[in-house]
Amino acid sequence: MALGLLLILFMVMSSISVVGLLLLFLLKGEKAQKIVFYFMALLGMFIAWMTATSYATNQIKEQMISWGFGALAVVAVLVRLCGKSKNAALAAKLLAAASVVLGMVALFIG
């Protein structure tokens, strides 16, 4: 029963991640892009938290890697807030996307 619920949760998170990544790079409006960006950054942090807390307490290396994926989302938000150019916005999007993708891969493998 519990494994079925975890499978459903993983499938929902995967679907949200794919749709969010597509919207992150395909939307044209600045306000919509900003909303999707912050949602994806929060999703990356949430996935990192879920992945890191799913490991046993003696698997420190795996936990630190997972927290590193969450740190990518934090760096993406900082780049978005501090950088004012188009290149900074693109770098922030790429960092947020990397955080989500790497977090989902770590969640799938772990």
pLDDT digits (tens, 9 = 90+) for 14-47: 999 999 999 999 999 989 999 999 999 999 999 9
pLDDT at 71 over 90: yes
Q: What percent of the chain has pLDDT over 70?
A: 100
Q: Average model confidence (pLDDT) for the chain?
A: 93
Q: Which residues contact 42 (CB under 8 A, 6 or more apart)?
A: 73
pLDDT of residue 84: 87
